[in-house]
Amino acid sequence: MKRHKTVTQMRAKEETTENQLSDQEILSLQGKDLSLLMLKMMQDVGHKLEAKTDNLQETLTKEIQDRKREQEEMQNTIPEIKNSLDAANSRIREAEEEISKVEDRRVEITDREQKREKRLKTNEESLRELWDHVKRTNIRIIGVPEGEEREKGTEKILKETIAKNFPNMGKEPLTQIQEAQRLPYKINPRRHILTQRTKIKDREKILKAAREKKQITDKGTPIRLSADFSAETLQPRREWHDTLNVMKGKNRQPRLLSPARLSCRFQGEIKSFTDKQRLREFSNTKPALQQILKELLQAEEKRPQQETKIPQMTRLTSQGIHTVKIQNHPRTIRPPKSDILRRAAVQMQDTGDALAIKRPTT
């Protein structure tokens, strides 16, 4: 009876889908029943493993097929990518070649521009030296009233000025003054008188006497005697005036040398400077000089910068003076002159009131 009951229980348990038995029920089984249960459970596990293995194999097969398909697609895409890379590399090489050509062209243009700037600077310096050479014997008389030259002639004005203001020099033989007339021809107030002598030492002698006397008069009217320079030289000379005044106050014995160099005595030595930048660099190494020029240099640093002038090229030819602006190349041709002194007079007319001297035609 007991055995029949156990078999019945086993069959009832077998009808369950999962054959899940409690630990107590499993422990209650004995002998053959337990063996049958274990066999059944192993069969179920085997079926499940087989099903899972089939599913896994099917999944792996599908994955392998997908990977093969993707690999085939990649193998087909690789040549396209390679062709695209080759084309891109080719374009890069072409671009690099173009960039190299542009860079070479830029260097060439820069070098050419630097050479042109150097030529322009050399031409301007040569022109400035030419004007200064033309004017090297000139003396500019500033402050003589208009009309006085009509009474006694412009040549006599300088002779009387020398005789009245420098009696000792009047006794010394001086070279003859060339013919003079006021320029520009249009009458303007306070036009200068420009005299030209045949020897430069006469000019230096007169100007030295004028510096020593400090105050010169003509009929009681204060006048000034000054050297005559080109416009390109006058501007840098004017820029030295403040520095000259400061150094005079400090007893540095400053002098303005031709054409526009500053000379001064410092620590027992005479130093000369072609421009303020050289003076600034030298003062940076000399604290005493830097202290003297401190306020002047600070004022110049605060001063607004002048607008950059358009570079020009000036040529002297038998046809006149030709000026070319570098940027847009407009060309202006002035009327032809008979000689270089007349051309010098044209430039003096452009830069300010002046009187040009020309040797009379015999």
Taking CB atoms within 8 Å and a gap of at least 24, the contacts of 176-181 are 178/357, 178/358, 178/359, 178/360, 179/155, 179/357, 179/358, 179/359, 179/360, 180/149, 180/154, 180/155, 180/355, 180/357, 181/149, 181/154, 181/355, 181/356, 181/357
Give the integer Cα–Cα distance in Å for 295 and 301.
10
pLDDT category at 219 given cuts 50, 70, 90 is: confident
30-44, 86-100, 125-139, 279-293: least confident range: 30-44
Higher pLDDT, 299 or 315: 299
Residue 229 in this model has a pLDDT that exceeds 90: no
- What pLDDT score was predicted for residue 141? 82
13-17, 99-103, 202-206, 332-336: least confident range: 332-336
- What pLDDT score was predicted for residue 294? 77
Does the pTM surpass 0.85? The reply is no
pLDDT category at 129 given cuts 50, 70, 90 is: confident
Rounded to the nearest angstrom, the gap between the alpha carbon of residue 250 and the centroid of all alpha carbons in its chain is: 36
Contact 279, 293 (CB under 8 A): yes
The dihedrals phi and psi of 123, each to the nearest 5 degrees, come to -65, -40
Higher pLDDT, 5 or 357: 5
Instruction: Kindly report the average pLDDT of the chain as a whole number.
Output: 73
Q: What average pLDDT does range 188-195 have in this prediction?
A: 74
Kindly state the percentage of the chain with pLDDT values over 70: 67
Architecture of domain 233-305: 2-Layer Sandwich (3.30)
Q: What average pLDDT does range 109-120 have in this prediction?
A: 92
Peptide bond into 330 cis (omega under 30): no
- What pLDDT score was predicted for residue 346? 45
Higher pLDDT, 244 or 5: 244
Amino acid at 103: E
- What pLDDT score was predicted for residue 28? 62
Residue 185 in this model has a pLDDT that exceeds 80: no
Give the tens place of pLDDT for each residue, 67-106.
888 888 888 888 888 899 999 999 999 999 999 999 999 9
Give the integer Cα–Cα distance in Å for 292 and 149.
45
- What pLDDT score was predicted for residue 8? 52
Q: What average pLDDT does range 335-340 have in this prediction?
A: 42
- What pLDDT score was predicted for residue 16? 47
Q: What average pLDDT does range 205-211 have in this prediction?
A: 84
- What pLDDT score was predicted for residue 45? 84
Instruction: Match 């390679």 to its residue by tokens.
Output: 82
Give the integer Cα–Cα distance in Å for 172 and 161.
14
Closest by CA to 353, choosing from 225, 198, 231, 220, is 231
Contact 159, 175 (CB under 8 A): no
Higher pLDDT, 69 or 186: 69
Give the tens place of pLDDT for each residue, 154-181.
778 878 888 888 877 756 666 667 666 5
pLDDT category at 304 given cuts 50, 70, 90 is: low
- What pLDDT score was predicted for residue 86? 92
- What pLDDT score was predicted for residue 321? 47
Q: Where are the domains of the chain?
A: 68-134, 233-305
pLDDT category at 2 given cuts 50, 70, 90 is: very low
Residue 352 in this model has a pLDDT that exceeds 50: no
Alpha helices in the chain (DSSP H): 2-15, 23-28, 32-134, 148-152, 154-165, 167-170, 200-213, 231-238, 241-249, 276-284, 287-292, 294-302, 340-351
41-55, 175-189, 280-294, 306-320: least confident range: 306-320
Q: Pairing mode, if any, of strands 261-266 and 331-333?
A: unpaired
Amino acid at 308: T
pLDDT category at 183 given cuts 50, 70, 90 is: low
Residue 331 in this model has a pLDDT that exceeds 70: no
